[in-house]
Structure 1
Amino acid sequence: MDGAVALGLRQNAAQFSLLVAVNALVGGMLGQERTVLPLLGERVFGLRAYTAGLSFVLVFGLAKAATNYFAGTLSDRCGRKPVLIAGWLVAVPISPLLIWAPAWAWVIAANVLLGIGQGLTWSTTVVMKIDLVGPSRRGLAMGLNEAAGYGAVALTAMVTGYLAQYHGLRPAPFLLGIAFAAIGLGLSARFVKETHGHAKFEAACHETRADLHGQLTNRDVFLQTSFREPALSSASQAGLVNNLNDGLAWGLFPLLFAGAGLPVGRIGVLAALYPAVWGAGQLFTGALSDRWGRKWMIAFGMWLQAMALAGIAMSHSFAAWAAAAAALGAGTAMVYPTLLAAIGDVAHPTWRARAVGTYRLWRDGGFAVGALVAGLVADLLGVRAAIWAVAALTAASGLVVAVRMYEPHRPKEHAHG
């Protein structure tokens, strides 16, 4: 098997491109909710408390975070492809549940399934791309993966906004999700190939640190990634805070914009602008981190996000919100693929999937933390106060990276491939 394996983006272009397309469909499943679901909770199910309205973000974050962890362990044990297919099978009932939900509890159930499905599918496409490309193009690979996923989030958020404006909040916006799930399952089952052999091949020539050798237990991997290893643990906390502010954007921004009198179509444009810049920006930021390194790309990205959130909290017009949303997307683009690449840099190939799973446990736990923090502060002090609070947390997270993280990627040590 090893003799037939080659690492590199060019050498695995066909499979890599297929996985990019699959992850775009994964992103589309998330995007169908970004504009419509907060409005559905308020206008159809009569939710008034922000904490109650953010419950769908909370359960999504908890389900996805837990699933991310187990997805890494399962993909090391059973292979990547079975985990990817399982994720798409979980995703199939989500859109029908949202279309026919007679009560908010059904929406909550759909978002538990969404979290599980996203944890299995997105985690696995990340690990498979890291397997394929090898060390020298890891940032570019993650940039392409996340650009496809969040580009699809943005496009779907915008399209569903206009569908909702002209055809109602249900069922039209969620018909897209039915198509995404069917196509994603078909592509994954029929055309995606197993990549576990690539990770084993890379492990044979991986330079090993004494504390990060290839025989770490699951407990050791969790502790190193979460707390002990400076680069891994710094990345984990930054990922949590990044998705904390994404949960805020998902759950509260549409309500802030609607409260200012914007129509659903324009709310959809604003909801799409942030992930659109985020998605497109990753085409450049991931590759730049291969050349310049990871640490300062992450720190400055967190600080740019904090400034953008402050801009949203201070603004009252569509144009100002659009500029701040674009800045938020740019900051997130600097951070998102770079954090994943940093995990791949430090983790040993034999337990890299588990390290990615642990990192994504913390990162997507940020959705749940964001739902609680933003909901409670918004109920007590208002939506703008919640945005200010998250901006402060994001600035502090960038400071942790600046102080604690060393540079995990040294470009001159890797040949181009």
Structure 2
Amino acid sequence: MSRPVGFAGISAAMVAILVAAGSPTPLLPIYEKAWGFPPWMLTLAFGVYAIALLIAILVVGSLSDHVGRRPVMVGALGLELVAMVVFLVAPSIGWIVVGRVVQGIATGAASSTLSAAVVELAPDHRKKLGALMTGMAPLAGLGIGALFAGVLAQFASDAAFAVWLVLVVVMAAGTVFTLVTPETATPKPGALASLVPRVSVPPRVRTLFASTLPGMIGVFMTMTLYMGLVPTVLAAVFKISSPLVGALGAFVAFGAGTVVSAFTSAVHPRRLRLLGATGLAVGAILFVGSVGTVSLPLLWGAALFGGAGLGAFFSGATRGLVPEVEPHERAGLFATLYLVAYLAMGVSAIVAGLFVGVVGVTTMAIGFGVILALVALAGVLATAARRAG
């Protein structure tokens, strides 16, 4: 097929992968009610997804540079299809956990390869469109996925079956489409060697990198909050069982992040990180207030500020770091950044789940919000202390 058609199709596949990643958010409380498992299993299902995604990024993140984009894309989308089938037929929470592990591996394998293919397939006179798509797709896909699943869960008689059936069809179509997409990378030796994880931070950006770490941890803890914890908090603290309301938290957060990422390209990276870390802190404080007072408007405010903060900080961090390193150093740098970020996401979710059984949902949520606020404030101080970059 033509490259423009391939660009449109692979862009859609990239969004679809993230839509699938966001879809479990409003469904997990439905599973909890139907199967009667403890709340900590919900956070485990989210945590193992993040850890599996991290491992896949570290191991196969650069494989497509050696074997070509298309084989890795086909394999990742095919594995994502397997995960959707597991969710579709799952009879218990154990199956959901297994499905999330498979989904995490598929998403991690797909992320860098699909991003590279989108940029390479973009028309020569519209390369910025490809870069914009790769920047916006992750947050937009997560938000759309949560809203899509929330709407179906609200109005469909068998919500989970409907959501996963649609996504099975989408992933099957994406896998077939990718088979006939033009190859954009020339295979080269070293495929096996590329599977050895390489994490590194070039000496000239180590100070800048260190200053971004608190904020990046805050970004991914905020993602954990709205993808993994808020639906449980709504059900246990606010007594709201509507899956649509549960989905709106993630949709507002990731929608705000998408908008900020798209319209702040003219803002200096350091200023953007400073604004982002501040937004994360304000969002965390509002979240604590919303749980303490059982105020839904405060929760939406928290999602808005936290989402805007995560979009601003992530954009500012990547825009500050990328120009400072050589092209051959970027893979190791981002592998290190994602190692910290996804560990923060997965570990914070699992630890929060363990504390639910000990102190209850309300205390766990307030504690998580306080820690997130402190991490974000550390990001503000670390960014403010650095005068450039």
TM-score, normalised relative to structure 1: 0.77
Partner Cα distance (1:318, 1:58) in 2? 26
Tell me if 1:22 matches 2:1: no
Q: How does 1:155-304 map to 2 (within 5 A)?
A: 155-166=144-155, 167-195=157-185, 222-224=199-201, 229-235=206-212, 238-259=215-236, 260-262=238-240, 263-285=242-264, 288=265, 291-304=266-279
Judge conservation of contact 1:142–1:337 (CA < 8 Å) in 2: no
Q: Do the aligned partners of residues 42 and 220 (structure 1) sit closer, same or farther apart at CA in structure 2, a change above 3 Å counting? A: closer
Q: Which moved more, 1:153-162 or 1:71-80?
A: 71-80
Contact 1:28-1:156 at 8 Å conserved across structures:
yes
Larger CA deviation: 394-403 vs 226-235: 226-235
Does 2:349 match 1:374?
A: no
1:8-407 superposed matches below 5 A: 17-37=8-28, 39-50=29-40, 52-128=41-117, 142-166=131-155, 167-195=157-185, 222-224=199-201, 229-235=206-212, 238-259=215-236, 260-262=238-240, 263-285=242-264, 288=265, 291-315=266-290, 316-378=294-356, 379-380=358-359, 381-403=363-385, 406-407=388-389
How far apart in 1 are the matches of 2:213 and 2:374?
18
For 1:172 and 1:237, locate their aligned partners in 2 and report how far apart those are by CA, in whole Å: 39
Give the distance between the partners of 2:351 and 2:324, measured in 1 at CA: 31
The amino acid that maps onto 1:294 is P
Question: One-letter code of the match for 2:177?
Answer: L
After superposition, the C-alpha distances for 1:221-257 in whole angstroms (9 at most, x for unaligned) are: 6231699723344445543331122112212101111
Q: Tell me the SS of whatever aligns to 1:47.
A: coil
- Equivalent pair of 2:217/2:375 in contact (CA under 8 Å): no
1:193 and 1:337 map into 2 onto residues whose CA distance is 29
The alpha-carbon deviation at position 192 of structure 1 amounts to 4.8
Q: Deviations over 1:330-380 (max 9, x none)?
A: 111212333334443233223433433333233222221221343345443
Which residues of structure 2 form unaligned runs of 5+? 188-193
Residues 124, 353 of structure 1: alpha-carbon distance in 2 compared, 3 angstrom cutoff? farther
Q: 1:172 to 1:401 in 2, by over 3 A?
A: same
Find the aligned partners of 1:153 and 1:319 in 2 and give their Cα distance. 22
Give the secondary-structure state (helix, strand or coil) at the position aligned to 2:62.
helix
Once the two structures are TM-superposed, the CA of residue 298 in structure 1 deviates from its matched residue by 1.8
Verify the 8 A CA contact 2:211 2:383 in the aligned structure 1.
yes
CA–CA separation in structure 2 for the residues paired with 1:94 and 1:20: 20
SS in 2 for 1:93: helix
SS of 1:339 mapped into structure 2: helix
CA 127–244 in structure 1, closer or farther in 2 if over 3 Å, else same: farther
Output the amino acid matched with 1:389: I
Q: 1:79 to 1:113 in 2, by over 3 A?
A: same
Q: TM-score, normalised by structure 2?
A: 0.82
Question: RMSD of the alignment, in Å?
Answer: 3.2
Question: Which secondary structure state, in structure 2, belongs to the residue aligned with residue 372 of structure 1?
Answer: helix
Instruction: Give deviations 1:264-314, integer Å, cap 9, x for gaps.
Output: 2222222322112222332213xx2xx333222123202201211211221
Q: Secondary structure at the match of 1:65?
A: helix
Q: Aligned residue for 1:207?
A: none
Counterparts of 1:265 and 1:312 in 2: how far apart (Å)?
19
Q: 1:100 to 1:225 in 2, by over 3 A?
A: farther
Note the C-alpha offset of 1:153.
2.2
Contact 1:377–1:385 (CA under 8 A) maintained in structure 2 = no
Give, in angstroms, the shift of residue 156 of structure 1: 2.5
Letter of the 1:375 partner, please give it: G
Contact 1:89-1:185 within 8 A present in 2 as well: yes
